[in-house]
Amino acid sequence: MLASEDSNLKSIAAHFEELPDPRSKVNREHLLVDVIVISIGAILAGADGPTAIVDGGGDYVFPVKGNQGGLGKAVTEFFADHLKDDFARVKVSRLESTETHHGRIEKRSYFQVNVPDDLPGRQRWKGLRTLRSGDHALVKSTASRPMKSNVRSAA
């Protein structure tokens, strides 16, 4: 690494060290500043994000989007299929809650499963271990936001 690159990374780290860590205590294996610097370094280097992060000793959580080589569609279809039978065919970890605040009642549902071996696009994501998806809706309303999903390298 060149001296100027090292100086840039130190400057980035100093900037982010003062941020409060939004992660839960169980997810704080690595310092937040290290996670941010590894991620930014991978992006600046033009490296494949998951590969660079895993090779650097880190873990990742990425939102699933439509521009990831079919992964977004595969994850959406996977969860839609398994929600039909309440995950009867696959082991799932789930968290469901109902919250009342500001005059609203919201129901939240989160699901996490091990990545199936046959998931299309899996080979492009080094270290990919789990899929997570979540949804929330107003209980008294028929409106619901679309489910948001992400992929994760840590179990």
Start-to-end CA span in the chain (Å): 32
Q: Count the domains in the chain.
A: 2
pLDDT of residue 27: 64
Tell me which residue range forms the domain holding 39.
1-59
pLDDT of residue 1: 47
pLDDT of residue 152: 73
Instruction: pLDDT tens for the chain, 155 residues: list them.
Output: 455 556 766 776 676 666 676 666 666 666 666 767 766 766 665 556 778 778 878 777 777 776 666 788 888 899 999 999 999 999 999 999 888 877 778 888 899 999 999 998 888 788 888 999 888 776 665 455 566 776 677 66
Q: Are residues 15 and 71 in the same domain?
A: no
pTM equals 0.58
Q: What is the DSSP letter of 25?
A: G
**For residues 105 and 99, is the Cβ–Cβ distance under 8 A?**
yes
Q: Are residues 43 and 64 in the same domain?
A: no
Tokens at 154, concatenated: 């840590």
Rounded to the nearest angstrom, the gap between the alpha carbon of residue 121 and the centroid of all alpha carbons in its chain is 16
**For residues 148 and 137, is the Cβ–Cβ distance under 8 A?**
no
Report how far residue 8's alpha carbon sits from residue 2's, in angstroms, rounded to the nearest whole number: 10
pLDDT of residue 42: 62
Q: Are residues 153 and 141 in the same domain?
A: yes
Tokens at 113, concatenated: 């499963």
pLDDT of residue 86: 93
Cα distances from 136 to residues 10, 54, 88, 146, in angstroms, run 39, 31, 21, 8
Q: Where are the beta strands (DSSP E) in 2-147?
A: 61-63, 93-101, 104-114, 130-138
Q: Are residues 142 and 68 in the same domain?
A: yes
Q: Are residues 154 and 78 in the same domain?
A: yes
pLDDT of residue 112: 92
Helix (H, G, I), strand (E, B) or coil at 17: helix
Q: Are residues 83 and 155 in the same domain?
A: yes
Report how far residue 155's alpha carbon sits from residue 153's, in angstroms, rounded to the nearest whole number: 7
